[in-house]
Structure 1
Amino acid sequence: MRIGDLAQRAGTTTRALRFYESQGLLMAQRAPNGYREYDDDDLRLVTEIQTLQRIGFSLDDTRPFVDCLRSGHDSGDACADSLETYRRKLAEVDGVLARLTRIRADIQDKLDDAEARHEGTDAR
């Protein structure tokens, strides 16, 4: 299939596909006329990239999953490097959640202090 067909089937743009190719994530075959040619395996790669990006992975984070698919696995997360990427990303999310929990507690403390000072008075 040509780049426009792949873009349509993947629900993306030809520009995004060219960018993936420039980053080494997607590798088009070239037809004799110079057009990029893709197959269903390329659609799987693009779908994997999009799915991972939708849940917060950077484009670089998708590389182990793409490599895993390219090596013939049925799933992009069938390889050890992909699992390690999941673990690293989960640790990052846990860190952000912990930081946000601390921030929330600090804000709640500030609000509680402010309300206690204004208790029984008009807080205009």
Structure 2
Amino acid sequence: MRIGELSRQTGTSTRSLRYYEQRGLITAHRDHNGYRRYDHDVIHVVKNLRRLLGAGLSIDDIHQFGTCVRALDLDATPCASALEVYEQRLRTLDTKIDTLNHLRANLAEHTKDLRQRLRAK
């Protein structure tokens, strides 16, 4: 199928599909006129990519999945490399959440102090 058809079937922009191809996540064959042609099995790969990206993973994270991203059903196909990526991403998010909580507490304290000083005037 051509890129437009893949785009329609997956709800993915042609620009994103070209990017996935550029990053080596999907492959296309070229017609004699240079048009991209995709195998039908690329549909589920693109849907998996969109699902993983929507879950907060990056393209670099997804590269670590290896061939697991080509599974027909990500949930039904256990993948050790996916587990490692999920755990790493969770650790990263936990660190960011801790940092944001610390920053919020500091800002709340400064706000409280400033409010009290303004009332005292």
TM range (shorter): 0.7 to 0.9
Q: How far apart are 1:87 and its partner, in Å? A: 0.6
Q: 2: distance between equivalents of 1:65 and 1:41?
A: 17
- Which structure exhibits the higher relative contact order, with contacts defined as CA atoms closer than 8 Å and separated by 6 or more residues? 2
Does residue 85 of structure 1 match 2:85? yes
Indicate the residue corresponding to 1:37 in structure 2.
37
| 8 Å contact from structure 2 (residues 49, 69) kept in 1 | no
Report the Cα distance in structure 2 between the residues aligned to 1:61 and 1:48, rounded to whole angstroms. Answer: 13
1:7 and 2:7 aligned: yes
TM-score, structure 2 length as denominator?
0.82
Q: C-alpha displacement at 1:120, in angstroms?
A: 4.9
TM-score, structure 1 normalization: 0.80
Asked if 1:24 is matched to 2:24, the reply is yes
* Separation (CA, whole Å) in 2 of partners of 1:24 and 1:86: 21
Task: Name the CA distance, whole Å, in 1 between partners of 2:111 and 2:69.
Answer: 51
Q: Partner letter of residue 29 of structure 2?
A: Q
CA RMSD of aligned residues (A): 2.3
Larger-gyration structure (1/2): 1
Percent identity, aligned pairs only, is: 38
What is residue 68 of structure 1 aligned with on the other side? 68
Match of 2:115 in 1: 115
Query: Partner amino acid for 1:8?
Result: R
Number of residue pairs matched?
120
CA contact (8 A) 2:3 2:37 kept: yes
Which letter does structure 2 place at the counterpart of 1:60?
A: D
**Cα distance, 1:66 vs. partner?**
5.6
Unaligned runs of 5+ in 1: none
User: Aligned with 1:119: secondary structure?
Assistant: helix
Gap runs ≥5 in structure 2: none
Deviation at 1:37, TM superposition (A): 2.5
